[in-house]
Amino acid sequence: MTSKVLLVTGGSRGIGACVARQAAGRGYRVCVNYRSSAAEAKTVVDEIQLAGGQAFAYGCDTADDDAVKAMFTEVDRRFGRLDALVNNAGMYGDLRPVEDLSAGEIRRLLDVNVMGYIICAREALRRMAPRHGGSGGRIVNVSSIAGQNGGSPGRTLYALSKGAIDTFSKGLSKEGAPDGITVNTFAPGLTDTDFNPPGRVASLAKSVPLGRVGEPEEMAAGILWLLSDEASYCTAATLTMSGGR
């Protein structure tokens, strides 16, 4: 068991919620970030607390610089430290070819999927680095296999955002390493969560070599490994869990 502190963005549903629950089960004190799913975030926190863990929910748009600063300040106030960050908040966007994208759509998706990760990572580094009073830490950036294969038609912008996170993670790992901060990427494949549009999971399940889609609990277990002491020598890596797809 540990008494470390973890912040999970996009922690109210899907993979993020499973990460929060599993981490709390290992003794982490958890901040569950959400943007609009307040009821779902409260449910996650209630489940953690009922099991004897410590957690609180914090609502903010991770693309909003001031709001993110306020969220990290609240983590400081409640828990007094930060040991781990899982950057998971994101949006899929509408199914749309590049030629039909508006500037507003492009900007909003990149703000959430890229800018939000950078802002949150910046605030984590400001707390984890020894020169700021920290003792190192773990950052896991949740990407996607779309960042590796370019995504499916109509999802190019989403794939671009995840490819950017892959590159960001590798660069950030070099900055964090001297301070004892590991930075890794987790790339899930097709996972049975409501992040997918209706019907997508069922229609693509047979395309997965293992013959089924992944469960969010499985993905969370991979992320928890990257946060663990067992992964202490693992940085700049990408853990892909896609069933071979």
- Residue 202 is predicted with a pLDDT of 81
- Residue 161 above 90 pLDDT? yes
- Residue 47 is predicted with a pLDDT of 98
- Residue 204 is predicted with a pLDDT of 82
Cβ atoms < 10 Å from Cβ of 42: 15
- Residue 199 above 90 pLDDT? no
* CATH (domain of 13): 3.40.50.720
Answer with the residue of higher pLDDT: 195 or 33: 33
- Residue 22 is predicted with a pLDDT of 98
- 138, exposed or middle or buried, with CB in 10 Å at 0-12, 13-18, 19+? buried
Domain tally, the chain: 1
pLDDT in tens, 42-100: 999 999 999 999 999 999 999 999 999 999 999 999 999 999 999 999 999 999 999 99
What is the rounded average pLDDT of the residues 11-22?
98
Q: If you search the block for the tokens 């929910």, which residue do you land on?
A: 57
Residue 140 corresponds to which tokens in the numbers above?
A: 């896991």
Q: Who's near 64: CB < 8 A, 6+ residues apart?
A: none
Is 28 designated active site?
Answer: no
- Residue 205 is predicted with a pLDDT of 81
Of the CA atoms within 13 Å of residue 121, those in its CB half-sphere come to 28
Residue 13 corresponds to which tokens in the numbers above?
A: 């549903």
Note whether 86 and 94 are within 8 A (CB).
no
Q: Which one from 34, 117, 158, 233 is the annotated catalytic residue?
A: 158
In angstroms, the CA 13 to CA 36 distance is 11
Domain assignment of residue 111, given as a range: 5-241
Q: Who's near 32: CB < 8 A, 6+ residues apart?
A: 8, 11, 12, 16, 17, 20, 41, 44, 45, 55, 56, 57, 58
